[in-house]
Amino acid sequence: MMTGLQANHFNAGYPRKKIITDLSIPRLSRGEITVLLGPNGSGKSTLLRSLAGLNHATGELLLDGQDLMKQPFAQRAKSVVYLPQSLPAGVHLHVLESIVVAQRASGGSQTEKGEAEVMALLQQLGISHLALSYLDQLSGGQKQLVGLAQSLIRQPSLLLLDEPLSALDLNYQFHVMDLVRKETIKRNIITVVVVHDINIALHHADHVLMLQSGKLIADGKPDEVITPESLAQVYGVRGRIERCSQGRPQVLIDGLVEHPMS
């Protein structure tokens, strides 16, 4: 059986407005991070929500050969976990309690071993000191880290992260992406992440999907997709890819693409 995630002629959006049109995604492999790139309004978050079954969609969506579109939402939620940009407001639970609830909801262990797994995950994320803090008293960045812990503890096959770095400082952005990579490999899951920072995609992604106006413009390895040509076409900027002193590629923006006067 072919493992991984694949979409064929996928359409998604809202009852009166289609956002994603006839999108086909080649197989996204287990153990790899795929980053969704594109300007605001390109359909990144809509696609992520639709993969999770939260938006109306049509077409074929295969996870390890099984069509998720034919599964009831409750069944899909057992293998697909979606983390929005922020946790719901007003939740008055301890951090530890909220993660244990997520663990038990997915059939996880309620034993001392299960609790030890939760504490080990908090330690990895650097938030074990927040275990007895209330969710509604945390900063935006702390809530994002707790949300990531809640997502990972559910042992998904497909992990969908919508801008998980938006409220984090530079230190935590690198720390979180490094942890997501390690957990993606260790758990052999498919991780799809929406980010705005193109350099994060260059440094941390195994695969990149670039969207524009709900259509797939390019897909492949980061250095194949992120080029001066694609930056000009999709983002309207004049950019170049250069190597830093350690040999890593990085995007430098020189200006906007000049369009001739009509």
Q: From 213, 197, 231, select the one nearest 41 (Cα to Cα).
A: 213
Residues of the domain holding 124 = 89-152
Q: 83: Cβ–Cβ under 8 A, 6 or more apart, which residues?
A: 147, 148, 150, 151, 159, 160, 161, 162, 164
CA dihedral 191, 196, 202, 203 (to 10 degrees): -70
Note whether 139 and 197 are same-domain residues: no
Residues 67 and 195 in one domain: yes
> What pLDDT was estimated at residue 108?
64
59/186 same-domain check: yes
Range name among 51-60, 164-173, 215-224, 230-239 with the lowest pLDDT average: 164-173
Tokens found for residue 181: 């990579």
Q: What is the pLDDT of residue 262?
A: 43
Model confidence band, residue 90 (pLDDT cutoffs 50, 70, 90): low
pLDDT tops 80 at residue 113: no
**Residue 109: its pLDDT value, please?**
58
The rounded distance, in Å, linking the Cα atoms of 84 and 262 is 41
State how far the alpha carbon of 187 is from the alpha carbons of 152, 165, 199, in Å: 9, 21, 25
63 lies in the same domain as 162? yes
Q: Are residues 103 and 53 in the same domain?
A: no
Q: In whole angstroms, what is the distance from residue 180 CA to residue 221 CA?
A: 18
CA-nearest of 55, 2, 57 to 28 is 2
**Same-domain pairing of 70 and 93:** no
Decide if 19 is inside a domain.
yes
Q: Are residues 64 and 175 in the same domain?
A: yes
- Contact, 30 vs 3, CB < 8 A? yes
Q: For the chain, how big is the Rg over CA atoms in Å? A: 19
pLDDT beyond 50 at 150: yes
Confidence of residue 2 (pLDDT cuts 50, 70, 90): confident
Residue 232 lies in a domain: no
Two structure tokens written together for 23: 């999108």
Residue 67's CATH number? 3.40.50.300
Tell me the mean pLDDT in the region 86-106.
85
Domain assignment present for 262: no
Rounded Cα distance, 176 and 166, in Å = 11
- Count: domains in the chain: 2
Question: Over pLDDT 90: what percentage of the chain?
Answer: 78
Query: Rounded distance, CA 203 to CA 251, Å?
Result: 11
